[in-house]
Every structure is written in C-alpha cells, then in structure tokens.
Structure 1
Amino acid sequence: MPEGWRPAVAIAAALLGVARDAGLVTLRLPQNARQVPQDVLQRDLVRGALQFGFELGTGVRTYVSASLPYVAALAVLLANDVGTALLTGLGFALGRAVTPALRYASRAGEEWDDRLQDRLPLLAVGGGAVLAAALVVLTLRGFPAS
C-alpha cells in the first residue's frame, strides 16, 4: 500500500469500527468466539491473568465485542514500526489485565459483571473514538517518521 495512504486507511478503519460499535453498520468480526472461563482467574490471580492474556492474545480464545483491537492491529500493521507495535501491545496487554483485576478486587464479581455489561456499548464506542482521534493527531504530527 502506498505510504501516503496508510494513515487515511487506518483512520477510515477506526471510523468504521466506531460506526460498527455504535450499531450504525453491521460488520462481523473474525474471532474464535469462546471466552476464557472465569474460574481461571479465581484459582490464582497472577497465573490466571497471564493465562487469560496468553489465550486472548494468541487467538486461542477470542470473544471480542468491540472493533478496537482489530483497528489497532491494522493501524500497527500499516505503521510498519517496531516501537509502535511494542507500545500498542503493551497498552493492549495492560488494558486487558485491568478488567479481570478490577473484577477480582471488587469482591462482587456478579454485580461487577452486570455493571460492565451495561457500560460495554459506551466503552466500545468511546475506545474506538479515542483511537480514531489519536490516529488523526499522530498523522498530523507525522508519526511514525518514515
């Protein structure tokens, strides 16, 4: 793909992801729709979080309701920059680890799940919008430098 097109394609994908998450367009995401069982985290938080991250990150079990991970992966691919890939991977891993850690820390897992379920659409659209805005800002700043 021509280098000059890459930012526009990434931004367009982010906007498409936001539209999908907002329910404006229907687009099926590629995934192996099996969740990591909750008892993985209940047995041992640290080992469970590592197993959860490994299974999700490698695609062994990937139930992803939001477009954000797919858009981020495409943006990293288009950036063709190792630093961008590493920082995105680190951010994704930390973000994924926060969810089970917060659930565990709440000591009220079922209630926490219900509150999260109510907020998922807002989180998905908000996360996608933040990514789209970040891509625009990075593009305007010329990052990553070729």
Structure 2
Amino acid sequence: MLGSPVWRGAPTYAFCAGLLAGGTAMCLLLLVLGALLRAPLPGWGRVAIVAGWYLVLLARELGVLRFRLPENRRLVPETVFRLGRLIGPFQFGLEMGTGARTYLPTGLPYALAVAVALVASPVAAAVAGLGFGLGRSLMLLANLGYDKEGGWDVQWQAYHRQIAAALIVAFTATLAVAVLIAVNWIR
C-alpha cells in the first residue's frame, strides 16, 4: 500500500514527518511516566532493570526465550485517506511512530522504552524518539526504492539474519553508552 503511486512524493514525506513526531512524542511521554518509577528506585536499581530487561529481550532475539510482546497487528485502515493526501499519511505516521499502530519485527523498541523511562535525560529521550522515527522512515524510503516485483521482500528474506545481528550489535553498543552516560548523571 505504501508503495503505491499515491504514497510517492509529498505524502511519503508527510508520513515520515509523522513517524518522527510520533517517536519523539512517545519517548517524551515515556520519560514523564518513568518519573513515577524513578522516584523510589536508586540509580543502580534503574540501571539493573534496564540491563536485565535488555538481556531478556536479547535472549528472545537470539531464540533462547520465546514469548510474545504486545503489539498492534492491524493493517492500514482506509480511514487514513479521509483526511487528505498529506494529513492522512501524517496521522498514520504519527500513530506508527508512537507504536500504537504497528508490527514490531524485533523486541529492541521495548528495551528502548524501558531505558528511556528509567535512565534517559529529556534530550536523550527526544533523540531516542527521533532515532526510532528515523529508522522507520529509512525502512519506508528504502522499500520505495525497490522494484514492484517484491525486491524488498526478497532481499529481506536473504539478509534478515545479518541485518538483525548488525542491529543487535549497534543497539547494544548504543544502549551501553547511553546507560554509562546516565549512570554518571545519576551519581
């Protein structure tokens, strides 16, 4: 659907803007909600929860543990188009950016959510949200660059394990640096 000619050009950019806005809004909301959890927990306890949750999710990513994480498994509703060529895609991007309407092929966003809630600064939360939205935007833009014959899906099937491994390594390194920075701020 997003590969249709209707979604080329300005609607695509409106959708991507919605992804960025939604990701940022969700991470800032997580930061505010996390303030309730931060109050009774010492700094080391928050870091321990982030690390422990990440290790559980890492075991899930590697197939050691098997459990489902909550996600919305609905497809794009036709009501997205009722708001017009730009506002409709922006609204849908906003919803996807918050995670309210999306499939999640990995559990890494759940690790990000806990890290933002428990150890992120306001700036780090905003950057994390923008990063989530940017990552989703890049997926869309890359997908639109492929031919109509399922090239994106063929490439995904061929390289999904390598992509997943690279994402796990990159996310682990980024999370480690972010937590180390947060630990210094917590002291």
TM-score by length of 2: 0.62
Runs of 4+ more than 4 Å apart: 45-49, 141-144
**Whole-angstrom distance in 2 between the partners of 1:73 and 1:132:** 14
Count of aligned pairs between the two proteins: 141
For the 8 Å contact 2:119–2:182, the answer to whether it is kept is no
**RMSD between superposed Cα atoms in Å:** 2.8
1:15 to 55, 79, 104: 55
Residue 18 to residue 49, structure 1, CA distance change in 2 (3 Å):
farther
Is 1:96 equivalent to 2:136 in the alignment? yes
Residue 106 to residue 62, structure 1, CA distance change in 2 (3 Å):
same
User: Percent identical across equivalent pairs?
Assistant: 35
1:84 to 105, 109, 124: 124
TM-score by length of 1: 0.77
**Whole-angstrom distance in 1 between the partners of 2:88 and 2:142:** 13
For the 8 Å contact 1:15–1:128, the answer to whether it is kept is no
**Whole-angstrom distance in 1 between the partners of 2:164 and 2:184:** 26
**Whole-angstrom distance in 2 between the partners of 1:97 and 1:59:** 13
1:55 to 73, 90, 95: 95
For the 8 Å contact 2:73–2:103, the answer to whether it is kept is yes
Is 1:30 equivalent to 2:70 in the alignment? yes
**AA partner of residue 56 (structure 1):** M
For the 8 Å contact 1:10–1:135, the answer to whether it is kept is no
| Greater gyration radius | 2
2:145 to 105, 108, 122: 105
